[in-house]
Amino acid sequence: MTAVNIRTSSPRPLVSLLGPAFVAAIAYVDPGNVAANVAAGADYGFLLVWVIVVANLMACLVQYLSAKLGVVSGMTLPEAVGARLSKPSRIAYWAQAEVVAMATDLAEVVGGAIALHLLFGLPPLVGGVLTGVVSMVLLLMKDREGQRAFERMIIGLLSIIAVGFLAGLVIAPPEAGDVVGGLLPRFHGTGSVLIAAAMLGATVMPHAVYLHSGLAKDRHGPVDARQRGQLLRATRWDVGFAMVLAGTVNLAMLLVAAQNLQGVTGVDSIESAHAAISERVGPLAGLCLAVGLLASGLASSSVGAYAGAMIMHGLLRSKIPLLARRLVTLAPALVVIALGANLSEALVLSQVVLSFGIPFALIPLVRLTSDPLIMGESVNTKTTLGLGWLIAILISGLNILLIWLTVKS
């Protein structure tokens, strides 16, 4: 690939480099986040606002490290991991990643099915099939038009998600003092710990960590040393803008629920929360929420399939068409819906399964970006290394706690 001539002093070249982080950011506003953030606001009001802020700050570093690996090494995270494993180990590593990918798809397809039921009254199975079909169309356009066209489509859906979830906040804004009070780190009982762990688990997701390295590699790299520093600075801006947007949307989800659903009984699902918001805030807010949820399901489903194909290629060293890959992870989600499972419970369960995959993505990422043989002069500084290990240990530990508390309850 021809290296890009970058001049960050000119606004236009910098803007032209933005995009990969916004695709990865879709994972941060997927239906699993909706379920976790709405539950946090409805059950505990503004208590866990600080969790959103902390999770977003950690996500900034994680996504930057992933992008940096792709730019500097010219490898995706799965390729870099696979190059250091024996064949049996690669297959085992891929197996856990594949299970995580299926859990990811379950959350995205279920979210789309719920949204289509709220908007049009479609049966869940029909909504799940339509979500899968639309995500396939998006992937077809990616294959035909290229990555930049795919980025534009995903950014368009991300904009719809932002408007959908911010609308309720504009219609019924909370008191500033309540929001500021929620910035003080604290818990209130075991239940709040469980919800906080679920929020973190739904924020930093394995497939987004794997994917960003591939997005950055395909768009930019590898590049020579002269251009690398400029490109990494542009990548930091890309990640910063994307994560601020995703964090704002997540915060809006929690604030709307905290302002309008706290103390309201019977809002233990997305459907019931939508009904309560429509009643208390107005039909427009309910409509915007449903549209945002639909855009979230469609965008995150196609991005998840893209990540799954990249993971398979990197670890199994075999490439299959994106559409075939789409069917592999779509089928289990449709089976779960067809069996009549409680969709909100299925969303929560998917987040628990995703928790298993977090350490397998974060720990290799920190190790690889701290290896001077791979990263050269772009190797992690001691500060970055320390923060990276702290985040990896903290998020992995909280996800283990989430699994334990969920099984215990």
What is the pLDDT at residue 14? 64
Residue 355: both structure tokens together = 């928790």
- Is 1 part of a structural domain of the chain? no
Instruction: Render 109-138 in DSSP notation, one character per residue.
Output: HHHHHHHHHHHH---HHHHHHHHHHHHHHH
In the block, which residue shows the tokens 């950014």?
A: 155
Instruction: Render 306-335 in DSSP notation, one character per residue.
Output: HHHHHHHHHHH-----HHHHHHHHHHHHHH
Q: How confident is the model over 101-123, as a mean pLDDT?
A: 91
Q: How confident is the model over 81-103, as a mean pLDDT?
A: 91
Rounded Cα distance between 99 and 158, Å, is 26
- Is 3 part of a structural domain of the chain? no
Q: Which residues contact 95 (CB under 8 A, 6 or more apart)?
A: none
Q: How confident is the model over 75-92, as a mean pLDDT?
A: 94
Rounded Cα distance between 59 and 65, Å, is 10
- Is 190 part of a structural domain of the chain? yes
Q: Are 254 and 37 in contact (CB under 8 A)?
A: yes
In the block, which residue shows the tokens 């570093």?
A: 61
Q: Assess whether pLDDT exceeds 50 at residue 2.
A: no
Q: How confident is the model over 351-378, as a mean pLDDT?
A: 89
- Is 232 part of a structural domain of the chain? yes
* Domain ranges, residue 379: 16-408
Rounded Cα distance between 365 and 389, Å, is 10
Query: Has this prediction a pTM greater than 0.85?
Result: yes
Higher-confidence residue of 308 and 16: namely 308
pLDDT digits (tens, 9 = 90+) for 41-72: 999 999 999 999 999 999 999 999 999 999 99
Q: How confident is the model over 366-395, as a mean pLDDT?
A: 93
Provide the CA 297 distance to its chain's centre, in angstroms. 11
Sign of the CA dihedral running 213, 216, 222, 228: negative
Reduced DSSP (H G I as helix, E B as strand, rest coil) percent helix, strand, coil of the chain, to 5: 80, 0, 20
83: three-class secondary structure by DSSP: coil
pLDDT digits (tens, 9 = 90+) for 164-220: 999 999 998 999 999 999 999 998 887 888 788 778 766 778 889 999 999 998 887
Q: Assess whether pLDDT exceeds 50 at residue 283.
A: yes
Higher-confidence residue of 283 and 205: namely 283
- Is 5 part of a structural domain of the chain? no
Percent of the residues in the chain that have a pLDDT greater than 70, as a whole number: 93
Q: Assess whether pLDDT exceeds 60 at residue 314.
A: yes
How does residue 409 score in pLDDT terms, banded at 50, 70 and 90?
low
What is the pLDDT at residue 9? 42
Total tally of structural domains belonging to the chain: 1
- Is 2 part of a structural domain of the chain? no
pLDDT digits (tens, 9 = 90+) for 315-356: 988 777 767 777 888 888 899 999 988 887 787 777 777 777
- Is 8 part of a structural domain of the chain? no
Of 294, 287, 32, 49, the residue nearest 171 (C-alpha): 287
Angle at which helices 343-369 and 322-338 cross, to 10°: 140
Q: Assess whether pLDDT exceeds 60 at residue 11.
A: no
Instruction: Render 138-204 in DSSP notation, one character per residue.
Output: HHHHHHHH-HHHHHHHHHHHHHHHHHHHHHHHHHSPPPHHHHHHTTS----SHHHHHHHHHHHHHHS
What is the pLDDT at residue 12? 42
What is the pLDDT at residue 1? 39
The chain-wide mean pLDDT, for the chain, equals 87
How does residue 5 score in pLDDT terms, banded at 50, 70 and 90?
very low
Q: What CATH number did the domain enclosing 275 receive? A: 1.20.1740.10
What is the pLDDT at residue 327? 80
- Is 4 part of a structural domain of the chain? no
pLDDT digits (tens, 9 = 90+) for 154-167: 999 999 999 999 99
pLDDT digits (tens, 9 = 90+) for 213-245: 999 988 876 667 777 888 888 899 999 999 999
358-394 as b/e, with b when 16 or more CB fall inside 10 Å?
bbbbbebbbbbbbeeebbeebbbeeebeebbbebbee
How does residue 265 score in pLDDT terms, banded at 50, 70 and 90?
confident
Q: Are 44 and 188 in contact (CB under 8 A)?
A: yes
Q: Are 244 and 228 in contact (CB under 8 A)?
A: no
